[in-house]
Amino acid sequence: MCERSKQTEAPGGGPLLWAGFGLVAALLSGVVLFAVLQGQTLARASLPVYGSIGDFTLTNQDAAAVSLKDLQGRVWVADIIFTRCPGPCLGMTRQMKGIQEALPETSQARLVSLTTDPGFDTPAVLKGYAQRFGADPRRWMFLTGAKKEIAKLAMDSLKLTAIEKAPAERQSPDDLFVHSTIMVLVDRKARLRGIFETAGEGIVAGQVKARVVGAVNQLEREP
């Protein structure tokens, strides 16, 4: 099955999906662990700033180009999945749907799901997946594009990792990647402000949703 990447130890199980980003992936574990611990106090403290989001150009489920300027001035939540994932992606997408439903009607926040599998996840495939989960296209976008561009956004900016599994290690034809099972939060100034683990021992989906929605609301109140 598709597995989640370990956020507190160096990832293994295959070569990095995108060459040249191994050092970035290795260095992120400490950042993510700190962020998960910080998630316990998000509602009581100012959210830290982990870095800025670089510009990108990708394609959404309607085959329209999306860049950073399309999200500028909005709070957004992002994760990384792939549509034929036999593992945690379905659970992550259900959690994202729960966040969509829990956000108030007045919220201008956006949800962003990146694919690790752009060769398969075309805009048409992503659109079918989005419809399967009742994604509101006005609020929730699924992005694909060139591997290099996805990697730049995912790994450099959002601290989301993806590792391609070696053929000998795959338990099924669709068991392709080990990837992050975190959701990340970006503020209206395009700064990374929150990192939330969504799977693993002790993780309760309803609590994750409450923390993410609370943090979104907090950032939308910031001047």
Q: Domains in the chain and their CATH numbers?
A: 3-221 (3.40.30.10)
pLDDT of residue 27: 40
Q: Per-residue pLDDT for 189 more than 90? A: yes
**CA distance to 7, 12, 86, 94, 161, per residue, from 169 (Å):** 20, 11, 15, 27, 18
Q: Tell me, what amino acid is at 61?
A: Q
**CA distance to 92, 107, 223, per residue, from 159 (Å):** 17, 25, 25
What pLDDT band is residue 99 in, cutting at 50, 70 and 90? very high
pLDDT of residue 171: 59
What pLDDT band is residue 87 in, cutting at 50, 70 and 90? confident
* Residue that is written with structure tokens 């805009």 in the block: 123
From the list 61, 82, 90, 94, the residue with the least C-alpha distance to 174 is: 82
| Average pLDDT across the chain, whole number | 81
Share of the chain above pLDDT 90, in %: 56
What pLDDT band is residue 12 in, cutting at 50, 70 and 90? very low
From the list 63, 111, 220, 85, the residue with the least C-alpha distance to 165 is: 85
Least confident among 88-92, 115-119, 175-179: 175-179
> Per-residue pLDDT averaged across 31-48, rounded?
54
pLDDT of residue 198: 86
Instruction: Give the whole-angstrom CA distance, residue 37 versus residue 44.
Output: 13
pLDDT of residue 37: 44
Q: Per-residue pLDDT for 80 more than 60? A: yes
Structure tokens at 71: 């999200």
pLDDT of residue 25: 44
